[in-house]
Chain A
């Protein structure tokens, strides 16, 4: 059975347990209504959760100590008149978190990294914007909540030959200040760990909604994946694993370079359309190549290559040496200047290790590293496919002298 997307929320790892099942406590019922502030209509089938204030306050502490306990919360849906009933609530103070598609969740005004590592100041702001309720088990408690309509961004992701790019993941990035530096981070317009991923449809269209007024960039994720399926022969168990063969993020402004991305301001409740992204397919090239040892030129059979922007050293893509052909392949490389950075390069022996009898595939490969090598940075200019790049890596501990990649010229 499929349930609403919020079911992805399972157990929320937060500090300080709120509901101890081992011990029977006195509880009461919290009731209330959720309304849409823009229409004054009841918010039907909205989700309502109670989150102990103590738990939110302790998030930062838990991260610092590297431990997190799990607590679970009840999440109820409002009925058709917008009313809700949450049973079995213990004494305490709670944030009341309501969520409905298209509307602002008060917590959504905080970027994800702020929510997971809130500063004292952030906690203060959370306390101000999120409705709170004090529950005393001696009597039932009640609260009404009004949800503000959020903004929305929609558009189409196309390839530059005009055909739609379906099934691509699309995210909204928001600008926020971290000290002096402005950074962009993903915004999740849903509370806590609820995930609602947005993918383009078969016409390449996407829509991001429930957004607070901020400065945004939209990012489309062009990724090729390969799925490996393992299972037991009697079909009693199966597992899937996927690995990314190639991945490149395209930003608003049709660019893969973060610094060239075009940002825009979304006003309160704005319905912004036409935020299209064109993926410049005709200007994407591939880089393939090998990694050799500097001291004797022999081919290495293990290593990772990062494609870095030559100017700001930001990473665009990464690839590992493949077992099938011993080469690395960067499949989506826009024209420009880059640095190829090799790390984790090694001579390795690969051997098949059997899985327990009755599973498919029967074996998997494990690598045993015989010798590690150092890292190397190699500049490269890309204006066409570069099929035969050779990067040499020094002995471990040494640093490579940058050399222009001859193959691409």
Chain B
């Protein structure tokens, strides 16, 4: 569903299929029409997106405590015309939430993006915002007008500490909830932001509700390597990743949050990446039993209290790894899922596919690491898998 929410930018790969779009009216269905307005200007919301979401589906999703389970917008997604009007034809009878989205305006759909994962999901059956609702009965057209409230926006510049702009950086925003728990999860690492800094390092995130936020950006080294077979696409290899938070903090617990008022336009939320205080760690992962290089697996570096992941990397084909940007400090370095792999090439007529086959799985390795400068040649020997692990 993520792809659908990010529709405006991701739309293009889909080929227009004019024939499927406009079918003749089916008996027992009806049309939902309406207008979308901007509450702040009273102007029509032009080219806004509108979709219907079955109330039943939404309840089920809330019960399942999941933001992301599949909900198919009934009747697809339509854009409003230049007068703010929309038409969704062929809607089967039932109750629907009418979800309207316009850039810069508050959308209930923003939830999945801006709420800290620590926040509990809304109670069962209750959508996070009060969503407009329509009841469609067979062969009765329904009309609804919706007013969208202008959201707050935050903008700033991401730069390196020598003053040069950091372009192409993904920037994310996290809303702090009241009962915030410390700790990290997979969504905190890697690359989560939707906004990408321009060539001057600038970003802007709009359509936000009032609240307390932190902005983060990921300093990521990503290589694209060809697949093993001819004709394969490129796969990505993450060499290293470091998150930097509001207040130039490299730990989320040190982040300096800021408050956004209703509809506030906040500028100057800059982040400086403290390059001069970052070090690189490189080396090779080998098997303890015979010293040969392992060609698959993941590394992560957590704070010594184990609460926060500072960096992650993947082991390259030659057993090497690089964490390019590690702040000074004492960490726990952990290797998991270490394995010997072999590329398998499956040849089918006219095409070849590659897949990776694990030949041997190793046990995890954990060790303490103090970083005060660059560490270029770290050799990490992973043990054999213990019996307990193997049986799992």
A-contacting residues, B177-199, CB 8 Å: 190-194, 196, 198-199
Is there contact, CB below 8 Å, between B166 and A44? yes
Known: A101-B199, A238-B72, A360-B72. A320 touches B18 (CB 8 A): yes
Nearest-neighbor residue (CB-CB) of A6 within chain B: B224
| Stretch of A72-80, A110-118, A375-383 that contacts chain B | A72-80
Q: Which residues of B contact A312 (CB under 8 A)?
A: none
Q: Which residue of B lies closest to A73 (CB)?
A: B226
In the complex, B386 has a CB within 8 A of chain A: no
Contacts of A79-131 to chain B: CB distance below 8 A: 79-80, 87, 100-103
Whether the pair A202, B41 counts as a contact (CB closer than 8 A) is: no
Which of B15, B220, B345 is close to A241, meaning CB atoms less than 8 Å apart?
B15
Q: Does A242 contact B (CB under 8 A)?
A: yes
A323 and B191 in contact (CB under 8 A), knowing A11-B233, A201-B206?
A: no
B8, B193, B229: the one within 8 Å of A167 (CB) = B8
CB proximity of B146 to chain A, nearest CB, Å: 17
A19 & B226 in contact (Cβ 8 Å cutoff): yes
> Is the CB of A166 closer than 8 A to any CB of chain B?
yes
The interface residues of chain A lying within 8 Å CB-to-CB of B16 are 241-244
Q: Are B24 and A323 in contact (CB under 8 A)?
A: yes
Partner of A87, one of B153, B229, B318: B318
Quick check: is A180 within 8 A (CB to CB) of the other chain? no
Chain A residues with CB under 8 Å of B104's CB are 166, 202-203
Q: Is the CB of A80 within 8 A of B226?
A: no
Asked, given contacts A10-B234, A45-B221, A240-B14, whether A102 binds B199 with beta carbons under 8 Å apart, the answer is: yes
Interfacial chain B residues near A100, Cβ < 8 Å? 167-168
Tell whether A26 is near chain B: CB-to-CB under 8 Å. Answer: no
Do the beta carbons of A4 and B77 come within 8 Å of each other? Answer: no
Question: Residue of B at shortest CB range from A87?
Answer: B318
Which residues of chain B from 187 to 241 have any CB-CB distance to chain A below 8 Å in the complex?
190-194, 196, 198-200, 204, 206-207, 219-234, 236, 239
User: Which of the segments A221-229, A255-263, A334-342 contacts the partner chain?
Assistant: A221-229
Stretch at the interface among B78-86, B118-126, B249-257: B78-86
- Tell me whether A39 is interfacial, beta carbon within 8 Å: yes
Structural contact, B167 and A76, CB atoms closer than 8 A: no
Known contacts A80-B324, A324-B24, A199 near B9 by CB under 8 Å: yes
Contacts A10-B233, A324-B22 given; does A166 touch B194 at CB 8 Å:
no
Q: How far is the CB of B275 from chain A (nearest CB, A)?
A: 6
Residue in chain B with minimal CB distance to A364: B20
B285 to chain A, nearest CB (A): 16
Indicate if the CB atoms of A207 and B22 lie closer than 8 Å. no
Q: Could you tell me the distance in whole angstroms from the C-beta of B42 to the nearest C-beta in chain A?
A: 10
Task: Say how far A16's CB is from chain B's closest CB, in angstroms.
Answer: 12
> For A240, what are the chain B residues with a Cβ–Cβ distance below 8 Å?
3-4, 14
Chain A residues numbered 299-332 whose CB sits less than 8 Å from any CB in chain B: 320, 322-324, 331-332
Shortest beta-carbon distance from B348 to chain A in Å: 14
B77-130 CB contacts (< 8 Å) to partner A: 77-79, 81-82, 89, 102-105
Cβ of B221 and Cβ of A229 under 8 Å apart?
A: no
Complex interface bits, A357-375 against B, C-beta within 8 A gives 1, otherwise 0: 0001000111100000000
Least distance between B174 CB and chain A CB atoms (Å) = 15
**Cβ contact of A202, chosen from B12, B207, B317, B322, cutoff 8 A:** B207
Chain B residue contacts of A20, Cβ below 8 A = 230
Scan residues 130-179 of chain B and give those whose CB is less than 8 A from a CB of chain A. Answer: 153, 160, 162, 164-168, 170
Distance between Cα atoms of A202 and B204 in the complex (Å): 9
Is B336 an interface residue when CB atoms closer than 8 A count as contact? no
Number of A residues with CB within 8 Å of any CB on chain B: 83
Given the known inter-chain contacts A207-B198, A238-B70, A324-B24, please indicate yes or no for A77 contacting B233, CB distance below 8 A.
no
**Shortest Cβ gap from B240 to chain A (Å):** 9
| Residue A161 interfacial (CB < 8 Å) | yes
A243 with B18, Cβ < 8 A, contacts A22-B345, A80-B324 known: yes
B281 contacts partner chain A, Cβ-Cβ < 8 Å:
no
Q: A77 to B166, alpha carbons, bound, how many Å?
A: 14
Chain B positions within 8 Å of A4 at CB level:
168, 170, 196, 220, 222
Q: Does A14 count as interface, using CB distance less than 8 angstroms?
A: no
For A332, list chain B residues within 8 Å (CB).
82
Residues of B within 8 A of A324 (CB): 22-25, 89
Q: Assess whether A163 is in contact with B43, with CB atoms less than 8 Å apart.
A: yes
Q: Is A55 in contact with chain B by the CB < 8 A criterion?
A: no
Interface centre among B22, B165, B207, B228 (most CB of A within 10 A): B22
Q: Does B65 contact A (CB under 8 A)?
A: no
Contacts of B168 in A (CB 8 A): 4-5, 45, 100-101
The answer to whether B329 has its CB under 8 Å from any CB of chain A is: no
> A201 near B21 (CB under 8 angstroms)?
no
CA distance A101 to B165 in the complex (A): 10
A352 to B192, CA, bound (A): 42
User: With A21-B230, A73-B226, A167-B47 known to touch, is A44 a contact of B24 (CB < 8 Å)?
Assistant: no
Known: A41-B162, A161-B43, A235-B70. A166 touches B103 (CB 8 A): yes
Q: Does B383 contact A (CB under 8 A)?
A: no
On A, residues with C-beta under 8 Å from B are 1-7, 9-11, 17, 19-22, 36, 39, 41, 44-45, 70-77, 79-80, 87, 100-103, 152, 159, 161, 163, 165-168, 197, 199, 201-203, 207, 209-210, 222-229, 231, 235, 238, 240-245, 281, 284, 320, 322-324, 331-332, 350, 352, 360, 364-367
Can you report 29 residue pairs joining A to B where beta carbons are below 8 Å apart?
A2-B191, A5-B168, A5-B196, A7-B224, A10-B233, A11-B234, A21-B229, A71-B230, A73-B234, A74-B224, A76-B223, A101-B199, A102-B167, A161-B43, A166-B102, A167-B47, A202-B206, A226-B78, A227-B14, A228-B76, A229-B73, A235-B70, A240-B3, A241-B21, A244-B16, A324-B89, A360-B72, A365-B24, A366-B19
Knowing that A1-B190, A74-B234, A79-B280 touch, tell me 9 more A-B residue pairs with CB under 8 angstroms: A74-B223, A79-B221, A102-B200, A159-B82, A165-B46, A166-B102, A228-B20, A229-B73, A367-B19
